[in-house]
Structure 1
Amino acid sequence: MKLLRYGPEGQEKPGILDGEGRIRDLSGHVSDIAGEALTPEALAELAELDVNGLPLVEGSPRLGACVGQVRKFVAIGLNYADHAAESGMAVPAEPVVFNKWTSCIVGPNDDVVLPPGSVKSDWEVELGVVIGKTARQVSEAEALDHVAGYCVVNDVSEREWQLERGNTWDKGKGFDTFGPIGPWLVTRDEVADVQNLTMWLDVDGKRYQNGSTKTMIFTVAELVAYCSRLMTLLPGDVITTGTPPGVGMGQKPPVFLKGGEVIRLGIEGLGEQSQTVRR
């Protein structure tokens, strides 16, 4: 299933894509694509629905973040060896874990607004993992059983705040609009091999990132298991799993967002995003 949320900001309704790529309304069955609606039992009930019998949503409404009411937005840094190299940092022996504040979450095609005084804002296409079952101290072998599905994330980052303002990564990662998520949550059963998905990102039509989840240092299963040792993961929590090379910081010379650019990004089978950058 491809689950989504559509409508004006703060008034999003739950939806699902039908076989022709049209949005069908799920309001009669769930109140939101969030929390307990993402448990295995709830997803099994949705899977039994006759999608073509659901109300058709006309037009092309705004898409909100594909997960609502996110309680934790956990991020992983330096999870691709070639990205660590372009960042001038060592390949980590254990996952680098930080937070993106949930207030940064926006829809996949909403504007990215640079914070006042930003001089080093950057892009990062990433695979997002949406938790569907409470995970606490789970093993790697059972970790994926706790995953509801996957989505595209743009881990927008202000590098000066991230790396030069006290060395606390969270500072540069959680500005408002720095967490576009979506367009859809693709349930785990529809992703044959999460460790073999191509991913890409363009800025103003120029391809900067072109990678694959197969080059992750720590797999999705390893990351879910590891994070479950640090915190209790709850249904609807999101883990964004790191980026392949090609970020602005790694260009020679570096390229950072000034405002006015259009960012397009996507992951195989999970859809595409497009954001206009503004100040």
Structure 2
Amino acid sequence: MRLVTAAWTGQKQEQEHTAFMTERGLVPLAWLNEKKGMNWETDILTLLQSGRMDALREWYYGKGAEILDSLPILPDDEVRYGALYRRPGKIIGIGMNYLEKAIELSGRPPGEEPVIFLKPDTSLIGPEDSIILPDGAGQIAAEAELAIVIGRTCRRVAEEEAIGAVAGYTTSLDMTAKDIHARNSRFLQRAKSFDTFLSLGASLSTPDEYANLSELAVETVLNGEVMHRNTVSQMIFSPTFLISFLSHIMTLNPGDVILTGTPGSVYIKPGDQVECRIEGMKTLTNLVSL
């Protein structure tokens, strides 16, 4: 099952709501409620926090997909995509999680534990929103990453059980003020925290969309050119390991987001277009401005 957050023409104040991403096009969840007498929550964060995402997925793989085929779709030219949601409880970043990237940055193989940091929700933007380069921050890098969306509360979960906590996956772009971080490694949190320094994709793909997650490729794209590409299998710490590891530090709640690290970063300047491309997800694209 694939969901998106979008606004569309004719909606009151063009508010962002959830729609199914089908092969025919987008079917708003609100239309399903209206035309079939259902009462699903119409935004992804509320679906997660109410504990009803699993029920929606079960409905979809029952008779739901067939029912959606009978409903109208949104015209493409009337749709504006947004971030999955704007106020996650926690956004947790993982640094240097691909072997090639870790050696590039540190000159040596990684340690035995992940590098973690937090992103404030004020840094969050969505598709087509502008990445604003802060004055005096020096060089800024953008990093495409697979993001994990947590679907249920978990604490001290075992790695073999961690997949059960995943609601789905999405695209993300994580920005870093490289010059600030280079001055002192302890400045990492500041370098990651500027407004517009995290873009979160519009689409959520549930785990059943991927028969083999390890083969999934993540691409960092600059001005239409793929600059870095690697697969989940090349992560130093797998998605399930990260969930387990983090859940032993802090309780993970529905709607929390884990950024799993980048296959490679690109320096960005005003006028650039940067993308995160992952198969089965809507490409995340942002422009860069001052």
> Which TM-score applies when normalising by structure 2?
0.86
Within the candidate set 96, 112, 115, 1:78 is matched to 96
Cα drift, residue 141 of structure 1 = 0.6
Within the candidate set 56, 60, 65, 2:73 is matched to 56
Within the candidate set 12, 15, 21, 2:19 is matched to 15
8 Å contact from structure 1 (residues 33, 68) kept in 2: no
Within 2, Cα distance between the matches of 1:95 and 1:122?
A: 20
Cα drift, residue 217 of structure 1 = 0.3
Report the more deviating stretch, 181-190 or 216-225.
181-190
Within the candidate set 25, 34, 58, 1:44 is matched to 58
2:226 equivalent to 1:222 = no
Cα drift, residue 118 of structure 1 = 2.9
1:251 is aligned to: none
Cα gap change, 1:10 to 1:94, in 2 (>3 Å): farther
Cα gap change, 1:174 to 1:44, in 2 (>3 Å): farther
Within 2, Cα distance between the matches of 1:166 and 1:10?
A: 42
8 Å contact from structure 2 (residues 6, 202) kept in 1: no
1:278 is aligned to: 289
Cα gap change, 1:45 to 1:164, in 2 (>3 Å): farther
2:37 is aligned to: none
Cα drift, residue 156 of structure 1 = 1.5
CA RMSD of aligned residues (A): 2.1
Question: Residues 93-148 of structure 1, C-alpha deviation per residue, up to 9 Å, x if partnerless?
Answer: 10111101112222122221111223211011111000011110000010001101
Within 1, Cα distance between the matches of 2:85 and 2:60?
A: 16
Within 2, Cα distance between the matches of 1:144 and 1:199?
A: 19
* Ranges in structure 2 where 5+ consecutive residues have no aligned partner: 34-39
Within 1, Cα distance between the matches of 2:159 and 2:115?
A: 17
8 Å contact from structure 1 (residues 26, 54) kept in 2: no
8 Å contact from structure 1 (residues 75, 99) kept in 2: yes
8 Å contact from structure 2 (residues 86, 121) kept in 1: no
Cα gap change, 1:53 to 1:176, in 2 (>3 Å): farther
SS in 2 for 1:141: helix
8 Å contact from structure 2 (residues 173, 275) kept in 1: no
Q: Which has the larger radius of gyration?
A: 2
1:261 is aligned to: 272
Misfit runs of 4+, over 6 Å: none
Residues 240-255 of structure 1: matches in 2 within 5 Å? 240-245=259-264, 247-248=265-266
8 Å contact from structure 1 (residues 25, 55) kept in 2: no
Cα drift, residue 46 of structure 1 = 4.9
Report the more deviating stretch, 26-35 or 42-51.
42-51
SS in 2 for 1:266: strand
Within the candidate set 13, 26, 36, 2:29 is matched to 26
